[in-house]
């Protein structure tokens, strides 16, 4: 399995039998160029321009997942879990859908723009996550300190930070990923892409910062 980070909260996950694009964004809003993409499954965690730009898809035969529920595509199971964009039950910025899915035997969770710690029912749906894609930039989402609390709730093997300030093109009030690394007090692994098998998952928590 291979994971590529395309900026903001957007990832391309490529397995042996399936490809998944998560939260494609509007380049004009984010300030990062996102070229044309193709995928078997497209996940849009909420209806904001930095998470739902379907115009980047060059194929039209993809399955769009954008709401809570259980799905199965090409032998991969997906679960959409309802959540809140802020800590006031979505009153300010609305609801989101977090997704957990399995590719090549590895369980991945993408927490969208989660704005608060997770509830018991949410954690039940996210049980057994190996790789966690987690916002850490604050302002629109949880910040570095709250991100650490969410990590302790889920207990993944690998954390990939996202939704932090990674461009000077747009002033968006997001904190840099270095704030999260400082709070974690772990030396991250910096990679162009993450390629691994289930057997290669680490025994102890690892932070992987992917270049976009």
Domains belonging to the chain, first-starting first, are 2-210 (3.60.15.10)
Residues 137, 8: Cα–Cα separation, whole Å: 10
Angle CA 55–137–209, to nearest 5: 80
What is the per-residue pLDDT across 78-134, written as a single tens digit (0 to 9) for each? 999 988 765 555 445 568 999 999 999 999 999 998 988 898 989 998 999 999 999
With H, G, I as helix, E, B as strand and everything else as coil, classify residue 151: helix
Cite the DSSP H helix spans in 7-143: 27-30, 120-125
Across 177-196, average pLDDT: 94
Q: What pLDDT does residue 18 have?
A: 97
Nearest to 162, CA basis, from 104, 98, 102, 101? 98
The pLDDT, as a whole number, for residue 39 is 96
| Distance from C-alpha of 113 to C-alpha of 9, rounded to nearest angstrom | 8
The pLDDT of residue 156 is 97
Whether residue 178 contacts residue 196, with contact meaning beta carbons closer than 8 Å, is answered with no
pLDDT score of 13: 98
pTM of the model: 0.92
d(C-alpha 5, C-alpha 42), whole Å:
15
Q: Contact, 90 vs 107, CB < 8 A?
A: no
- Beta strand 76-84 with 95-103: parallel, antiparallel or unpaired? antiparallel
Q: Which two tokens stand for residue 106?
A: 């590895």
**C-alpha to C-alpha distance for 30 and 142, rounded to whole angstroms:** 18
Q: Tens of pLDDT along 27-54? A: 877 778 888 999 999 999 977 667 678 8
What would the mean pLDDT of 152-170 be, rounded to a whole number?
85
**Strand extents, DSSP E, the chain:** 2-7, 10-14, 19-22, 41-43, 63-65, 69-73, 76-84, 95-103, 106-110, 131-135, 158-162, 189-191, 194-195, 206-210
Average pLDDT over residues 5-13: 93
Residue 90's pLDDT is 45
Residue 96 and residue 211: Cα distance in Å, rounded? 25
Mean pLDDT across the chain: 89
CA atoms within 13 A on the CB side of 157: 15
């Amino acid at each position: 399995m291979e994971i590529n980070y395309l900026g903001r909260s957007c990832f391309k996950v490529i397995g042996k039998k399936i490809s998944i694009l998560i939260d494609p964004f509007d380049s004009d809003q984010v300030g990062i160029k996102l070229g044309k993409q193709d995928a078997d499954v497209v996940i849009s965690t909420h209806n904001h321009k930095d998470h739902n730009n379907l115009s980047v898809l060059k194929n039209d035969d993809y399955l769009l997942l954008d709401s809570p529920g259980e799905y199965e595509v090409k032998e991969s199971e997906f679960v959409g879990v309802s959540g809140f964009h802020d800590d006031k039950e979505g009153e300010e910025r609305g609801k989101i859908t977090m997704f957990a899915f399995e590719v090549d035997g590895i369980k991945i969770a993408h927490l969208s723009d989660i704005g608060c710690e997770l509830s018991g029912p949410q954690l039940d749906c996210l049980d057994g996550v190996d790789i966690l894609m987690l916002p850490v930039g604050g302002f629109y989402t949880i910040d570095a300190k709250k991100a650490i609390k969410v990590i302790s709730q889920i207990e993944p093997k690998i954390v990939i930070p996202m939704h932090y300030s990674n461009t000077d093109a747009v002033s968006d009030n997001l904190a840099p990923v270095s704030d999260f690394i400082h709070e974690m007090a772990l030396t991250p692994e910096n990679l162009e892409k993450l390629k691994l098998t289930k057997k290669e998952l680490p025994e102890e928590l690892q932070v992987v910062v992917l270049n976009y």
